[in-house]
Amino acid sequence: MRKLFGTDGVRGLANAELSPLLALQLGTTVAHVLIDKKVAASAASSASRYRRTRNRPTVLVGRDPRISGDILESAMISGICSQGVDTLLVGVVPTPGVAYLTALTGCAVGAVISASHNPVEDNGIKFFGPDGYKLDDALEAEIEEEIECFDSFPRPIGKDVGNIFRKHELVWDYAYHVKQTMPISLDGVNIVLDCANGAASELAPRIFYELGAKATCVNCTPTGININESCGSLHPEQMALLVKQTGADVGLSFDGDADRVIMADECGRIVDGDRIMAIYAMHRARTTGLPANAVVGTVMSNIGLELALAKENIRLIRTPVGDRYVSDQMRSIGAVVGGEKSGHIILSEYTSTGDGMITALQILAIMLSTGKRLSELAAQMEEFPQVLMNVKVRERDGWDQEPEILAAIKSAEEKLAGKGRILVRPSGTEKVIRVMVEGPDEDELKSIAASVCEVVAKKLGSS
């Protein structure tokens, strides 16, 4: 049985690793599993003004604007409809929009075609259940098992073939939801928006304008091939510079599917996901109270976040990297804020997954309600230097069985004993080994990280 699902769905080089054939097989198998397990029974029968025709399940499909999205979407929905399941196409929409609209419309499953922050050459497919949360591991494992029997699935004919319904206007229902989470007008607030030439390029400027903000927009003209290209949440430097040049109050950089946001304060200093979580959690703890009195971060969360939260008697609970693990832990303990340093933040009172626009609006609301600039709020957390290096490898599996790599890690741990930490892990979405080193001396951290990366590259590096 081949392993298809990573920490964030199925992802790979578009038209190669993630081919139209694989998209067809995934669509067919997901629809088959829905019918076979009757996963969709309640969703299909629920009263909804969006429900299509017959009393049968519907899969809602959205995507980001990258060029390969069209061919993968066409292939996947062909597979879905071939099993007698309808599809509801909403077009280009942020990933959190797919999660929200799936629950809103009573669809059985939501599917988003996006590689998020990855370059244009990549693409991905991930699925949400009828509640707007990602499918659980067991269901993904069943899809991986069933896809091997793809050719033997029954094929309905005639009137039993699924329909395709195009409802691109539904994205504005999502936009309305985003605006409704903002309790304060943005009149007089000057913002720089960087939409990464991605899924928020049309929505974000309109949402912020309608809330009253004055917005300077960059990287909001997607061509299909410029998504995430030296812009967005992975490259917020241009946005931060524009904040300084224009005298803006704040800058916001989303990624290609707008499930992340990185901010910049009025001085052009970057405010990452750790600081965003600290600002939100500490404000909640001091005002309305913080449910579970906890923030869910990951093993990559800066130790400075843990120390800042501890001053307010707030726990930081760490999970493996990946929003699935963060979300599961949040639901387990009843936490309302969790996320990653990358800017992927889940505020569960508003959304079931990371939502860059909703996160940004909640921080803006805190700024306005307290009368404090973002720089003042961000200063509540002191960030320790953290060096992250990536090594491209032939395969991610088996790295932790290499004696030389393990010896290099042990040597690094000895150098950092009592003052820092090292974390080596495979990426969940790319053929990359990530080396993170954290401590007080950045020059020493760079040296330690480079020495470990050198050994990883020697043993596993791609040619």
Say whether both 32 and 157 belong to one domain: yes
Q: Which of 351, 378, 405 is the last residue of a domain?
A: 378
pLDDT above 70 covers what percent of the chain? 96
| Residue 38 pLDDT exceeds 80 | no
Per-residue confidence band for 310, with pLDDT thresholds at 50, 70 and 90:
very high
* CATH number, residue 423: 3.30.310.50
CA angle 50, 53, 58 (to 5 degrees): 65
The pair of structure tokens assigned to 61 is 């499909």
Rounded Cα gap, residues 89 and 164, in angstroms: 7
Q: Would 185 be classed as within a structural domain?
A: yes
pLDDT band at 43 (very low <50, low <70, confident <90, very high): very low
Same domain, 148 and 17: yes
- At residue 456, does pLDDT exceed 90? yes
Residue 157's identity, in one-letter code, is I
Task: Say how far apart CA 118 and CA 146 lie, in whole Å.
Answer: 28
Averaged pLDDT, 293-319: 95
pLDDT digits over 341-393, tens only?
A: 999 999 999 999 999 999 999 999 999 999 999 999 999 999 999 899 999 99
Burial class (CB in 10 A: 0-12, 13-18, 19+), 426: buried
Could you tell me if 237 and 215 are in contact, meaning their C-beta atoms sit under 8 angstroms apart? no
In the prediction, which pLDDT does 420 show? Answer: 84
pTM above 0.75, yes or no: yes
Query: Is the same domain home to 309 and 358?
Result: yes
* Whether residue 361 is found in the same domain as residue 445: no
State the pLDDT confidence band at 429, using cuts at 50, 70 and 90: confident
Mean pLDDT of 184-205: 98
Assign residue 305 the CATH number of its domain: 3.40.120.10
**160, 223: one domain:** no
Catalytic residue selected from 68, 82, 114, 116: 116
The angle formed by the CA atoms of residues 403, 404 and 407, to the nearest 5 degrees, is 85
Whole-angstrom CA distances from 239 to 162, 211, 344, 375 are 44, 21, 18, 16
Range in 334-338, 397-401, 450-454 the model is least confident about? 397-401
- Domain assignment of residue 1, yes or no: no
CB 343 within 8 A of CB 273: yes
Residue 95 covered by a domain: yes
pLDDT over 50 (residue 41) = no
Longest CA span, the chain: 69
Final residue belonging to a domain, choices 124, 155, 173: 173
| pLDDT grade for 336, boundaries at 50, 70 and 90 | very high
Two tokens at 265? 């304060």
Q: Based on the fold, state whether residues 197 and 167 are members of the same structural domain.
A: no
Q: What is the average pLDDT score of the chain?
A: 94
Indicate whether 113 belongs to any domain: yes
Give 263's strand partners.
252, 271
CA-closest candidate to residue 384, choices 270, 302, 274: 302
- Which residues constitute the domain of residue 17? 10-173
The total of structural domains in the chain comes to 3
Mean pLDDT of the region 160-168: 97
Q: Could you tell me which residue, 430 or 146, shows the higher pLDDT?
A: 146
Q: Give residue 430's pLDDT band: very low, low, confident or very high (50, 70, 90).
A: confident
Direct distance between the N- and C-terminal alpha carbons of the chain, in angstroms, rounded to an integer: 27
Picking from 108-117, 281-290, 301-310, which range would have the lowest pLDDT averaged per residue? 301-310
- pLDDT band, very low/low/confident/very high, at 37 (cuts 50, 70, 90): low
For residue 132, the model assigns a pLDDT of 96
* Segment 311-317 mean pLDDT: 97
- Show which of 111, 140, 173 is a domain's final residue: 173
Q: In what order do the strands lie in the sheet with 421-426?
A: 386-392, 432-438, 421-426
**One domain, residues 204 and 348:** yes
Distance CA 20, CA 40 (A): 25
CB atoms within 10 A of CB 328: 17
pLDDT tens string 51-94: 445 578 999 999 999 999 999 999 999 999 999 999 999 999 99
pLDDT value at position 322?
A: 87
Residue 157 lies in a domain: yes
Is 233 an active-site residue?
A: no
Q: Are residues 232 and 360 in the same domain?
A: yes
Position 3 in a domain:
no
Same domain, 49 and 103: yes
Secondary structure of the chain in HEC code, one letter for each residue: CCCCCEECEEEEEECCCECHHHHHHHHHHHHHHHHHHCCCHHHHHCCCCCCCCCCCCEEEEEECCCCCHHHHHHHHHHHHHCCCCEEEEEEECCHHHHHHHHHHHCCCEEEEECCCCCCCCEEEEEEECCCCCECCHHHHHHHHHHHHHHHHCCCCCHHHCCCEEECHHHHHHHHHHHHHCCCCCCCCCEEEEECCCCCCCCHHHHHHHHCCCEEEEECCCCCCCCCCCCCHHHCCHHHHHHHHHHCCCEEEEECCCCCCEEEECCCCCEECHHHHHHHHHHHHHHCCCCHHHEEEEECCCCHHHHHHHHHCCCEEEEECCCHHHHHHHHHHHCCCEEECCCCCEEECCCCCCCCHHHHHHHHHHHHHHHCCCHHHHHCCCCCCCEEEEEEEECCCCCHHHCHHHHHHHHHHHHHHCCCCEEEEEECCCCCEEEEEEECCCHHHHHHHHHHHHHHHHHHHECC
Residue 297 lies in a domain: yes
